[in-house]
Amino acid sequence: MKLVIESRTGAPCTEQLFEQTRNSAVMDLMDSRWTTPEGFSRWALTTDPAADAERCYPLPGPVVRSAQVTDTSLSLDSFALAAETMVRADPHAVTAWLDHHAGTAGREGDLGRAWLRAGQSLCVSDTASARALTLLAALDSDTAADTRHVLHGLAQSEPWHVAHTSTREGASGHWPGPATALCAGTALYARQVLCAGHLGDVRLLDPLNGRAAGRLTSPPHNRPAAAVFCLPDGTVVMADDFGGVSLVGEAPRRTGLQALLEPDADPCARLRRAVLAFPQRIAGARITTAASLPGGVVFGDSGGRVHVLLLKENTVDVTSHTLHDGPVTAVTGMSLEGTGPAVVYSGGVDGRIRVWSPDLAPMPEPLLHEPRPVVDLSAGSGEGGSALAVAWGDGLVQLLDLDSGTDLSFRPGPPVRAVCCLRTDAGELRTMIGMDDCITTLVPRPSHTHHGRRQ
């Protein structure tokens, strides 16, 4: 359900609603089934004769759920929460069964929790293999090894492979906490992913297994993180929901003879000072998102502007453009061929993803335009090519191959808060997806790349 509207019968606006909406469900609030116990009982009797109308009144939900479970004829003994049975069955029936048997041990098990975590994504998947992939992505990697093996086999035909998943209920104790922002590390943190949480805490994740490998000193204000990023020297910076920018932990110290003889000649120190002072330079807007660039930083603000700060020789150049209608919600960037000019991607509440380079004018048309806001962006490049991960406001995650133009999509189920696109030392492209109760990492299968595939 996306929208509920209450309108007066016979009013012009009501007639317009009927004309403009398709397949809408209409509920007459003056019908006797909703206004009197007698009318409710008659309706309940026709819906499910076994329902206790007196106990359910005035809530129709228990009557409908009871009818759904009765129709599916699924019993605790016959169903038994087997992975293959679940993904091959009617997903609506499975969900109704789990809801009906809310007090059973199976409902509280790993598989039952994973199914309910994935939620409606399982119900919209039209094949057993797609449901197996979705369920596998919601199931903690440290639990139910036999079940995961079965689901891996069922999902072989899907374009993604689940590398690992960490959940709040995981038994290993490696849950890093809710992810509101993700980024690939640099310098000291080059082989790690930084994960920022609701209170501004930043943890280090191992990209190979998703486990928390350490924790950085949190900023003193404990504000929710809007973005986290690393400067070229490994300095970790966080942008918070209030438009502030602050260091996480201490800035790396220079070493060697040059650091002793020229303590003020550190170019990264200039960039660091410019980044921390930049929010005060924006008039009439606040910082809403940020990301690192090779040799710089990109900011987005509440007025739709994107600002690039690049370190050039002994100065920090600033380039700004208004690219979005409304706040900028996500930014990312990379260098072409590793050492070429910076390419910047930005997304906003307007559903547009814009691409440009600080040395050139922005492209007039967006790279993508959807009727939903952009939640997060993450660009990755390497010997295997360049890719862009996109998190949309409706929960869809999209991975674009920027060289071939092909894309893959995945809908994990819960709201997606952040994505991180990175390559391992072996050149494997990975997409880490951060959510409130789950962090999962997917690897695309090279032979299953589909153009324009959406779920």
Taken in order of first residue, the domains within the chain and their CATH numbers are 37-157 (no CATH), 181-448 (2.130.10.10)
Q: Which two tokens stand for residue 187?
A: 């310098």
Give the per-residue pLDDT at 76. 47
Q: How many CA atoms lie within 13 A of 161 on its CB side?
A: 13
The residue type of 383 is: E
Q: Has residue 8 got a pLDDT over 60?
A: yes
What does 172-219 look like in DSSP terms, one character per residue? Answer: TS------SEEEE--GGGTT-EEEE-TTS-EEEE-TTT--EEEEEPPP
Higher pLDDT, 410 or 111: 410
- Least confident range from 90-99, 118-127, 140-149, 244-253: namely 244-253
To the question of pTM greater than 0.85 for the whole model, the response is no
What is 237-249 written as a DSSP string?
EEEETTS-EEESS
CA–CA dist 216, 281 (Å, integer):
28
Tens digit of each residue's pLDDT (9 = 90 or more) over 267-310 = 688 888 999 999 888 888 999 999 999 889 999 999 999 999 99
pLDDT (tens digit per residue) in 362-414: 888 999 999 999 999 999 887 778 899 999 999 999 999 888 878 999 999 99
User: Is the pLDDT assigned to residue 238 strictly greater than 70?
Assistant: yes
Q: Are 386 and 338 in contact (CB under 8 A)?
A: no
- Spacing of C-alpha 217 from chain mean position: 25
Contacts for 394-400 with beta carbons within 8 Å, 24 or more apart? 395/121, 396/454, 396/455, 397/431, 397/433, 398/454, 399/431, 399/444
Please say if the pLDDT value at position 455 is more than 50.
Answer: no
